[in-house]
């Protein structure tokens, strides 16, 4: 997050793939010490801090994750969300999401993905 302002320009694309919010983890794989599943874990407040930085970006942002109230209702409700079926958590069916800011959506070719 500290580097984003340094490299932020209108033509810059930031692909952000943070540790998933804890509320989206529904597998035995995640049954570890509550919040220490990744080497660099993020709490909901860390995701809020990340969102604050990402909302200030002048360039394009593509954020990956899973749908959750934290992202859909609180942090990125106005961002375009694209959902795709995937296999994760030991080949379980999941729906992965990409959240795009307005600058990223504007750069997509017209008609792409129904936008």
pLDDT in tens, 45-72: 999 999 999 999 999 999 999 999 999 9
- Dist CA 1 CA 108 (whole Å): 25
- Dist CA 83 CA 109 (whole Å): 18
Look up the CATH number of the domain holding residue 32: 3.30.110
Is residue 82 domain-resident?
yes
Sign of the CA dihedral 2, 15, 98, 88? Answer: negative
> Tens of pLDDT along 100-112?
999 999 999 887 7
Q: Please determine, for residue 9, whether its predicted confidence score (pLDDT) is greater than 90.
A: yes
Is residue 115 domain-resident?
no
Q: Please determine, for residue 78, whether its predicted confidence score (pLDDT) is greater than 90.
A: yes
Is residue 45 domain-resident?
yes
Lay out the sheet containing 80-88: strands in order across.
13-16, 60-66, 92-100, 80-88
3 state DSSP class of 62: strand
Tokens matching residue 21: 């919010």
Is residue 63 domain-resident?
yes
Which domain range does residue 22 map to? Answer: 4-109
């Amino acid at each position: 997050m500290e580097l984003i302002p340094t490299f932020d320009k209108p033509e810059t694309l930031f692909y952000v793939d943070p540790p998933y919010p804890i509320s989206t983890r529904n597998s035995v794989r995640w049954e570890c010490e509550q919040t220490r599943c990744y080497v660099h874990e993020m709490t909901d407040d860390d995701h809020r801090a990340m969102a604050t930085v990402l909302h200030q970006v002048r360039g394009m942002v593509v954020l990956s994750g899973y749908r959750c109230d934290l992202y859909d209702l609180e942090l990125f409700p106005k961002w375009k969300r694209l959902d795709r079926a995937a296999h994760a958590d030991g080949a379980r069916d999941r729906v992965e999401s990409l959240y795009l800011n307005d600058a990223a959506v504007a750069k997509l070719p017209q008609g792409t993905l129904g936008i």
